[in-house]
Amino acid sequence: MKKIVSFFIVALVLSFLLVIFAASKSKPVPKVESGKIIVATSFYPLAEFAKRIGGDYVDVVNITPAGVEAHDYEPTPRDITSIRVSKIFLYQGAGFDPWAERVAQDLIGTDIKVMNITNQFDLRSIASDGTSAKDPHVWLDPVLAQKEVKIIRDALISVFPQHSDTFNQNADAFNVKLAELDVFIGKSLTGCALSDIIVSHQAFSYFSSRYGINETAISGISPEEEPSAQRLGEVAQLAKEKNIKTIFFETLASPKLAETVAREAGLTTSVLNPLEGLTLEEIRAGKDYLSVMTDNVHNLQQALQCQNK
Amino acid sequence: MIRAFIAGIAVALVAPTIGMFLVVRRYSLMADTLAHVSLVGVAIGLVTKIQPVLIAIIAAIIAAIGIEKLRGTKRVFGESILALFLSGSLAIASVIISAAGGFNMSLLNFLFGSITTVTQSDVFIIVAMSLVVLVTIFVFFNKFFLVSFDEELARTDGIRAKFYSTLLVVLAAITVALSMRIVGVLLIGALMVIPVITAIQFSRGFRATILLSIAISLMSVVVGLFTSYYFSLASGGTIVVVALLLFLLSIVFNKKS
Amino acid sequence: MPEQIIKVQKLNFQYLGEQVLRNLSFSVDAGEYLGIIGPNGGGKTTLVKILLGLQKPTSGEVVMFDESLETFHDFNRLGYVPQRISHTDSGFPATVNEIVFSGRTADKYPFYRVTAEDKRVVDEVMKVTEISGLSHRLIGNLSGGERQRVFIARALASDPEILILDEPTVGVDALAQKQFYSFLKVLNKTKGITILFITHDLEMIAREATKVLCLNHNLVCYGDPSKALDDKVLLDMYQTDMKHVHEHSHENI
């Protein structure tokens, strides 16, 4: 009995020290500065758009950390607290950020404005036999991205109406850039020798249909899916038929799949970033939505053997 | 955070209680096995569009009964049976998923619950489940104890040993299938085993060991949640690490001199 | 005429096409000390399992306390000490006290709380078996002899009228065996508990038992040990001479 009591005393003391130490080292929960509101977002593009629109009146807290796939992320208690002190919580929905859907459920009844972005879109169905999934990757189409910007702008105005002028101006200015991007992509991808791309997971269907590209994904809608041997064979066959020389992989997911197919079919690999998050290197290099999209276009031009370089 | 605490405490009470009976029967990997079996249920549920959670529970219960039956035949070692079901169900789930034309994103939601995203209805489910499991174990405690100690001896006392053995694994199946979606399979699996083997280090009787393991798992949950909050760490993992540290501490305390 | 508490009539048991028990008929009187001997695989343990209700006979009838075994449920009247004492899971976290109590309370209805009477009986059987001092020790930390006494105490905790022991002295040292035999004799004589004792130890049977039953699929002998155990019977059973049988019995000490 003595041994058990002393075990618990030692364990309690150690735990207490651990918690005290943790508390002293902990990063503060985002403080609400006067004249500002906090907007929490589930992943990178939403954070970027909210920052562009909100400017100086908004502190954006992006929950999914750099280098992590939003889909796999498990929020920490601190993240939940950050969301709780925010005025607006933006998330993608449609199964893209399942943890955020659960958090959102929990925010019903609070005064936090919760926005499921994909609810505002008429999503494409990705029909596979038996199951049909909705495709949440709308932000990769600059035209649909402009709609996202408007949705976020309206959310900001409804919570912070005194700055509606600023939000309107900022949103309009950013949407001009997105419109320019749309024109740039359209121009860049015309007059190309090829029109088929192979990607590791099906993230680019909105993008592809906008610019007349045929997207073939090795795996399906989710990056975690493991393709069958038959599927890998089909992809290799397709590459041969369509004279495809390049296979695209992503920055956040493992390139193993793309590399395997590339090796088997004698192809090269390149990066097509679905912007589901930025890595630390990309952030350090000052990358953002517009520059990554531009990089994507350059890589596509190479692969599709386009003229307008 | 209050919900995380309530759900965590419910799991901390129920997991080692049922885990004690599993550990002494060499069923330590039961939670992981049942979680993978539940995945088959979820896959079937998503394909047939019937309540995936319900089918996951049914699949886990059927597997638990199958594991007990197979153990009764003495054709396969206890831990090999678990390996058989674990890898087998993972294989079946991946075949079902690929036959149905791919991973639906929502499949993963059922496997990786997280204690930080527990909702109001989750709290209700997990507290109700814990009450049912704890009360059942309390009511039949003497029978479960004897059946776990020696099944044949139990039968000579006129106890329906097969029934109570099966009831035990069915309780484990319900616990795992329900709580993995809410708090994650890592947490439920670890709390079923680690606090129990920590408590066993103190060489106490059966009841004392259960009470001790509950105290240890409660401590792991509370300390783990606080630490994960201040360090901004994943809560489930932090709780399990705290439980591991307590296990190491118990080894130090019980070192044979 | 003492009461017959076990009656076995034309009992047959087949397992995987093999005749394990053939046409057994015998009876046990209250207060008897019956030694059951026979070669390994001769059906001794099977007979015990049938008596305990663990296995169903292929044909024949067993009457226990004037009730057919098919409907008999009052297994508290039987105490059983298993063969596997020496290989009980040594890591199992249970105290001697918990094991002994399980013999009395495990089959009680739900929500049963331990009564003063339960405590008194358990205290008494632990005193009788001389394990009172061990009550808070873990079962896995005991010696073979101590563990054996715990299992006897467990069997006695339900106040049985019949005590069935299946080679309980395997793995127990000679001194502990001797004490054990005299202890059983006391139980038999003073408390009137009927004893069924399975063993290879012929000398012990000759010395202690009031009746012997030799089993090699058939009933080879049955009766007073001094008369029933002649060389012809032993030759029949073990298909060898006495000398070998004695050696065999020593192996188990």
Alpha-carbon distance of A297 to A188, in angstroms, equals 7
pLDDT tens digits along B167-187? 999 999 999 988 887 888 888
Q: Which residue has the higher pLDDT, B208 or C249?
A: B208
Task: State yes or no: chains C and A have 3 or more CB pairs below 8 A.
Answer: no
CA distance B36 to chain C (A): 28
Mapped onto helix, strand or coil, the DSSP state of residue A60 is strand
Alpha-carbon distance of C75 to B154, in angstroms, equals 11
- Please tell me the predicted confidence (pLDDT) of residue C246: 47
Where are the domains positioned within chain C? Answer: 4-85+160-251
pLDDT tens digits along C52-67? 888 888 988 888 888 8
- Please tell me the predicted confidence (pLDDT) of residue A91: 93
ipTM > 0.90 (yes/no)? no
- Please tell me the predicted confidence (pLDDT) of residue A129: 44
**What six digits make up the tokens of A198?**
């192979």
**What six digits make up the tokens of B63?**
């597997």
Q: Which residue has the higher pLDDT, C152 or B247?
A: B247
The answer to the question of residue B221 being in a domain is no
CB distance A208 to A215 below 8 Å: yes
Beta bridge partners of C163: C79, C195
Q: Which residue has the higher pLDDT, C170 or B160?
A: B160
Q: Which residue has the higher pLDDT, B52 or C28?
A: C28
Q: What are phi and psi of C214, to 5 degrees?
A: -100, 130
Inter-axis angle of helices B52-73 and B78-99, nearest 10 = 150
Q: Which of A86, A2, A1, A105 is nearest to A47 (CA)?
A: A86
Whether the pLDDT of residue C204 is over 60: the answer is yes
The one-letter code for the residue type at C150 is: V
Q: Which of A90, A155, A93, A151 is nearest to A119 (CA)?
A: A93
CB distance A240 to A222 below 8 Å: no
- Please tell me the predicted confidence (pLDDT) of residue C218: 84
Measure CB to CB from residue B157 to each of C106, C136, C141 and give the nearest one: C106
By percentage, how much of chain B surpasses pLDDT 70? 94
Chosen for mutation from B104, B122, B212 (greatest number of chain A CBs closer than 10 Å) is B104
Q: Which of B191, B200, B254, A2 is nearest to C94 (CA)?
A: B200
Highest mean pLDDT among C15-19, C96-100, C110-114: C96-100
The answer to the question of residue B103 being in a domain is yes
Mapped onto helix, strand or coil, the DSSP state of residue B213 is helix
- Please tell me the predicted confidence (pLDDT) of residue A242: 83
- Please tell me the predicted confidence (pLDDT) of residue C247: 45
- DSSP E strands in chain A: the ranges are 37-41, 58-62, 88-91, 113-116, 125-127, 132-134, 196-199, 214-217, 246-249, 268-271
Whether the pLDDT of residue C244 is over 60: the answer is no
Beta bridge partners of A91: A116
Confidence of residue B201 (pLDDT cuts 50, 70, 90): very high
The one-letter code for the residue type at A81 is: T
- DSSP E strands in A53-112: the ranges are 58-62, 88-91
Residue with tokens 């005064």: A111
Highest mean pLDDT among A26-40, B74-88, B184-198: B184-198
Q: Which of B51, B150, A139 is nearest to C155 (CA)?
A: B150
CB atoms within 10 A of CB C252: 14
* Positions of chain A with pLDDT under 50: 129-130
Range(s) of the domain holding residue B139: 2-186
Q: What are phi and psi of A193, to 5 degrees?
A: -70, -35
Beta bridge partners of C162: C78, C194
The answer to the question of residue B154 being in a domain is yes
Measure CB to CB from residue A15 to each of B117, B223, B231 and give the nearest one: B223
CATH of C4-85+160-251, one of 3.40.50.1100, 3.60.10.10, 2.40.50.140, 3.40.50.300: 3.40.50.300
**Inter-chain touch B205–C53, beta carbons under 8 Å:** no
Name the residue in chain A with its Cα closest to that of B202: A4
**Inter-chain touch C94–B154, beta carbons under 8 Å:** no
- Please tell me the predicted confidence (pLDDT) of residue A221: 52
Average pLDDT, chain B: 87
Measure CB to CB from residue C82 to each of B153, B206, B207 and give the nearest one: B153
**What six digits make up the tokens of C140?**
């896995």
Burial tier of A228 (Cβ tally within 10 Å: 0-12, 13-18, 19+):
middle
CA distance B252 to chain A (A): 10
CA distance A105 to chain B (A): 7
Alpha-carbon distance of A102 to C63, in angstroms, equals 64
The answer to the question of residue B227 being in a domain is no
Measure CB to CB from residue B152 to each of C54, C94, C141 and give the nearest one: C54
CB distance C99 to B142 below 8 Å: no
Measure CB to CB from residue B200 to each of C52, C80, C93 and give the nearest one: C93
Buried b (16+ CB within 10 A) or exposed e, A171-187: beebbeebeebbebbee
pLDDT tens digits along B16-52? 999 999 999 888 888 889 988 988 888 888 777 777 7
**Domain of residue B137, CATH code:** 1.10.3470.10
Whether the pLDDT of residue C86 is over 60: the answer is no
The answer to the question of residue B96 being in a domain is yes
**Inter-chain touch A226–B94, beta carbons under 8 Å:** yes
Alpha-carbon distance of A232 to A285, in angstroms, equals 35
**Inter-chain touch B232–A80, beta carbons under 8 Å:** no
- Please tell me the predicted confidence (pLDDT) of residue C245: 45
Alpha-carbon distance of C34 to C28, in angstroms, equals 8
C-alpha distances in Å from residue A185, one per residue of A278, A301, A309, B143: 21, 10, 11, 72
C-alpha distances in Å from residue C117, one per residue of A188, B143, C158, C170: 93, 20, 11, 33
Q: Which of C63, C26, C47, C58 is nearest to C221 (CA)?
A: C26
**DSSP H or E stretch at residue B219:** helix B206-231
CB distance A308 to A191 below 8 Å: yes
Burial tier of B65 (Cβ tally within 10 Å: 0-12, 13-18, 19+):
middle
C-alpha distances in Å from residue A227, one per residue of A234, A261, B97: 11, 11, 10
Highest mean pLDDT among A35-39, B41-45, B137-141, C218-222: B137-141
Alpha-carbon distance of B73 to B24, in angstroms, equals 19
Q: For chain B, what is the domain count? A: 1
Chosen for mutation from B3, B5, B98, B105 (greatest number of chain A CBs closer than 10 Å) is B105
**Inter-chain touch B158–C138, beta carbons under 8 Å:** no
The answer to the question of residue B214 being in a domain is no
Beta bridge partners of C11: C24
**Inter-chain touch B108–A225, beta carbons under 8 Å:** no
Full set of structural domains in chain A with CATH: 37-185 (3.40.50.1980), 189-304 (3.40.50.1980)
Alpha-carbon distance of A167 to B7, in angstroms, equals 41
The answer to the question of residue B10 being in a domain is yes
- Please tell me the predicted confidence (pLDDT) of residue C2: 67
Whether the pLDDT of residue C124 is over 80: the answer is yes
Confidence of residue B13 (pLDDT cuts 50, 70, 90): very high
CA distance C209 to chain B (A): 24
**What six digits make up the tokens of A284?**
């350090």
CB distance C154 to C100 below 8 Å: yes
Q: Which residue has the higher pLDDT, B132 or B107?
A: B132
